[in-house]
Amino acid sequence: MNHKGICTLAIVLFVNCATAQVIQNKKPEPISSVRPITADKMVDIRERLVQLAMQNPNYEIADRKVAIAAYQIKKAKGSWLSVVGVQGNINEFSLKGATTDPITGIKTASPGSFYPKYNIGATIPFDIFSARKNDVKIAKENLSIAQAEKNQRFREIKAQVLTKYEDYLLCQQKLDGQSQVTQDARTAYLAAEKDFQEGAIKQEEYNKSYRGYTDEKIKQAEYIRNYNVIKLELEAMIGMSMDDLLKK
């Protein structure tokens, strides 16, 4: 072989060795579609989760109870008008002039002969002021109770949604880790399969590698299921898709 041929062969061998080294150092991609969340974005997401959870119908009911209690206070303050009765009447002779009986010829009295021509009266219960005062107090207490229930419901929903989000993150991390383990098991299985075909290892060793890869795939399927379930539960609480939330 001449000098030129030796140089060409050396270059080819160098390129092949470099390519093999790059492939060897490259880590396999984990079998997971979960995107990591940065710490800064995580704070914003938590705040957004609480805001969305507050639009839950359960919290809306508590909010409307507060509004009803406020209306009851206004109603109680004006309730005294419903217990005051006003009566009045007008003397019927005051509406007629003097008339003459067609048989006897006797004239009735003139309108001015009867007093009073009309009268007006009012019925006021003795306990009107104390009853109204107590009704207002009761309405105010009901408002305080409704507001306390609303605040308690807020704390409960906030704790529930943030706890669910922590479960979501945990399932996400477990899935990422298991995906990497599954990928490593797959790589080991493919290598064992090749060695078995070439006669480098026995059937028992090949079967062991295959079972290990199968077990890791089953674990990964369980982690995917748990992740999807917790994701659905969280989305039910906030009323929107987590994928859409993470895009914002």
CA–CA distances in Å: residue 53 to residues 64, 95, 155, 163, 240: 16, 71, 11, 12, 10
Residue 62 has a pLDDT of 74
Instruction: Give the pLDDT score at 204.
Output: 94
Q: Which ranges of the chain have pLDDT less than 70? A: 1-43, 76, 78-132
Contacts of 111 (CB under 8 A, 6+ apart): 93, 94, 95, 96, 97, 98, 117
Domains of the chain: 29-97+109-247 (1.20.1600.10)
Note the pTM of the prediction, 2 decimals. 0.58
Strand 85-90 with 118-123, pairing:
antiparallel
| pLDDT attached to residue 30 | 41
Q: What is the pLDDT of residue 89?
A: 54
